[in-house]
Amino acid sequence: MGAGQELWKKAKRLIPGGNMLLSKRPEMFLPEQWPAYFSKAKGCRVWDLDGRELIDMTIMGVGANTLGYGDERVDAAVVATVAQGNMSTLNAPEEVELAERLVAMHPWAEMARFARTGGEANAVAIRIARAASGRDGVAICGYHGWHDWYLASNLGEDDSLAGHLLPGLDPQGVPRNLRGTVFPFGFNDIAALEALIATGKIGVIMMEVARTFDPSPDFLRKVRELATAHGIVLIFDECTSGFRQSFGGLHTLYGVDPDMAVFGKALGNGYAVTAVIGRRAVMEAAQNSFISSTFWTERIGSAAALATLDVMEQTQSWEVITGIGVDITQRWRELAAKHGIEISTAGLPALTGFAFKGANAAAYKTLISQEMLERGYLAATSVYTCLAHTPDIVDGYFDALDPIFALIAKCEAGRDVSSLLRGPICHAGFKRLN
């Protein structure tokens, strides 16, 4: 057991759940063996508390670092900001420039508000949209954070969780009187959305443009038409999808404009900044509510975002990371076919993943993390790509993965996978609507 696991044991005694983010808990990858903490990160390399250098072929800061860890150009802008002062009684001029940049990328939008996390940015968007529409009901399709407004969708009768959030997103602590304010509908299921709208309760539609699967032909267009016809505010949650397949929102590739859009994760390349943009007629409803927070005004987030946008534009990063993801996905399929293993692949190219089929799927995922860790990789069944995932890195990853797939093939032929594991099987996350 390394220093990271020792510290993780201590953390679980001091911090409920051990940390602040479900996706970073070691149990999600390799219980009792995952290094848990880092001392340094650069490019796509992470050093653990024992000084071991590891190549990150997993979730790259949970999708926040599309340029790679510690991009020198972004870090230089942050260092300069720190030297000049991060916080003041006066406002940071960078936030005006950032608003201007984001609005210029999205001609349908005219105003912007900023926050520091995706969940709170979505909460801001919902507050504004409800104020603008004058109706409380929200139809959702996707994952939108931890706040009460969203988890209220889990406050139905005993069978209401079926097919929605299920494990990992329990609504304990969410006021029961919020029940009946948020209503889920399935991705690509326009009939389900029409049924919700027919109730007359819906004033807001909050949805991810795409995540696991692409929208079917005309799905987004029909959502837009329904929202317009019924005076509903349409929000695209692009906290995850933004800046991965286009310079700005993924929705621009489909030619469908929302009334509001939310951006996060990649916007600051690891620094905390999120944005809500929207049409003036909708965004000005923020003035009819109270939406305000001290640390939304700190300077680092806006400065990091501006530098990140510059680097993205210079490198055409969205094209590069999409190409890397397409290549990785295809090579997973080829590797599985080589060893006679059945897998499925899904996700945006830059958020690609694969899954085994059958009862041993979680055990095989755990085995990959265990064996790849020994070979110097942080790995599981997803790769969030970044500029630092150069061809030599990807080649080395597949060289290391090949014999592990061969081992899994032997397990499919009858070998007991549990005999190969040196600890418990990884935990499952929550299920998604999309």
Q: What order of strands is seen across the sheet that includes strand 382-384?
A: 343-346, 351-356, 382-384
Q: Binning pLDDT at 50, 70 and 90, where does residue 266 land? A: very high
The counts of H helices and E strands in the chain are 13, 14
In a domain, 431, yes or no: no
**pLDDT given at position 156:** 66
Last residue of a domain, one of 315, 349, 379: 315
Kindly state the average pLDDT of the residues 348-370.
97
- Whether residue 238 is predicted with pLDDT greater than 60 in this model: the reply is yes
Q: At 17, which CATH number?
A: 3.90.1150.10
Out of 151-160, 231-240, 342-351, which region has the weakest mean confidence (pLDDT)?
A: 151-160
Contacts of 211 by beta carbon, 8 Å cutoff, 6+ apart: 142, 143, 187, 240, 241, 347, 348, 351, 432, 434
pLDDT one-digit tens code per residue, 279-297: 999 999 999 999 999 999 9
The answer to whether residues 245 and 147 belong to one domain is yes
Q: What is the mean pLDDT of residues 156-173?
A: 58
Residue 402 and residue 358: Cα distance in Å, rounded? 20
8 Å CB contact between 420 and 411: yes
Q: What is the pLDDT of residues 68-95, one digit of tens each?
A: 999 999 999 999 999 999 999 999 999 9
89-97's contacts with Cβ under 8 Å and 24+ in sequence apart are 91/297, 92/297, 92/298, 92/299, 92/302, 92/303, 94/299, 94/302, 94/303, 94/306, 95/297, 95/302, 97/302, 97/306
- pLDDT digit string (tens) for 254-263? 999 999 999 9
Please tell me the predicted confidence (pLDDT) of residue 38: 98
* 162 plus 120 within the same structural domain: yes
Domain identity same for 92 and 187: yes
Summarised one tens digit per residue, pLDDT across range 6-60 is: 999 999 999 999 999 999 999 999 999 999 999 999 999 999 999 999 999 999 9
Q: Are residues 179 and 45 in the same domain?
A: no
Residues 79 and 53 placed together within one structural domain of the fold:
no
381 backbone dihedrals φ, ψ, rounded to 5°? -125, 15
Residue 426 is given by DSSP the state: P
Predicted pLDDT of residue 159: 45
Give the 3-state secondary structure of residue 92: coil
Indicate whether 428 belongs to any domain: no
Mean pLDDT to the nearest integer, 363-380: 98
Please tell me the predicted confidence (pLDDT) of residue 386.
Answer: 98
* Per-chain mean pLDDT for the chain: 95
Q: Is 380 inside a domain boundary?
A: yes
The end-to-end CA distance of the chain, in Å, is: 37
pLDDT of residue 198: 98
Whether 425 maps to a domain, the answer reads: no
Instruction: Quote the CA–CA distance of 417 and 427 in Å, as a whole number.
Output: 16
In terms of domains, do 62 and 99 share one? no
Q: Is the pLDDT of residue 303 over 90?
A: yes
Distance CA 246, CA 361 (A): 33
Confidence of residue 163 (pLDDT cuts 50, 70, 90): very low
Cα–Cα distance list, 290 to 120, 124, 285, 399 (Å): 14, 10, 10, 55
pLDDT at 154: 81
| Within-domain flag for 426 | no
25 lies in a domain? Answer: yes
pLDDT score at 172: 85
Q: Is residue 105's pLDDT more than 50?
A: yes
Percent of the chain with pLDDT over 70: 96
Q: Are residues 324 and 376 in the same domain?
A: yes
Residue that the structure tokens 């094209």 belong to: 319
Q: What pLDDT sits at residue 432?
A: 64
Q: Which of 35-44, 163-172, 210-219, 244-253 has the lowest mean pLDDT?
A: 163-172
pLDDT of the residue at 166 = 42
Backbone angles phi, psi at 177, to 5 degrees: -75, 0
Phi–psi pair at 174, nearest 5 degrees: -85, 130
**Cα separation, 252 vs 262, whole angstroms:** 14
pLDDT bin (cut points 50, 70, 90) of residue 168 is: low
- Tell me 232's DSSP state: P
**Is residue 209 domain-shared with residue 325, that is, in the same domain?**
no
Taking the complete model, does pTM exceed 0.85, yes or no?
yes
pLDDT for res 359: 95
Extract the tokens encoding 67: 């340029």
Q: Which residue has the higher pLDDT, 335 or 164?
A: 335
| Residue 374: HSE in the Cβ half-sphere, 13 Å Cα cutoff | 11
Q: Do 128 and 257 sit in the same domain of this protein? A: yes
258 contacts 205 by C-beta, under 8 angstroms: no
- Domain annotation covers residue 237: yes
**What is the rounded CA–CA span in Å between residue 433 and residue 192?**
12
- The Cα–Cα gap between 221 and 202 comes to 18
Closest CA to 45 of 335, 396, 284: 396
Residue 350 resides in a domain: yes
Helical ranges in 145-189 per DSSP H: 148-151
pLDDT in tens, 129-145: 999 999 999 999 999 99
Single residue among 299, 315, 331 that ends a domain in this structure: 315
Rg, Å, the chain Cα set: 22
Residues 307 and 320 placed together within one structural domain of the fold: no
Mean pLDDT of 187-203: 97
Instruction: Flag the least confident range among 11-15, 153-157, 197-201, 405-409.
Output: 153-157
- 341 and 229 in a common domain: no
127 contacts 226 by C-beta, under 8 angstroms: no
- In whole angstroms, what separates CA 208 from the centre of its chain? 11
Domain boundary pick from 284, 315, 346: 315
Q: Is 74 helix (H, G, I), strand (E, B) or coil?
A: helix
Range of 268's domain?
A: 72-315
pLDDT value for 417: 98
Strand 260-263 and strand 274-278: pairing? antiparallel
CATH number reported for the structural domain that contains residue 310 in this entry: 3.40.640.10
Q: 243 and 188 share a domain?
A: yes
Number of separate domains in the chain: 2
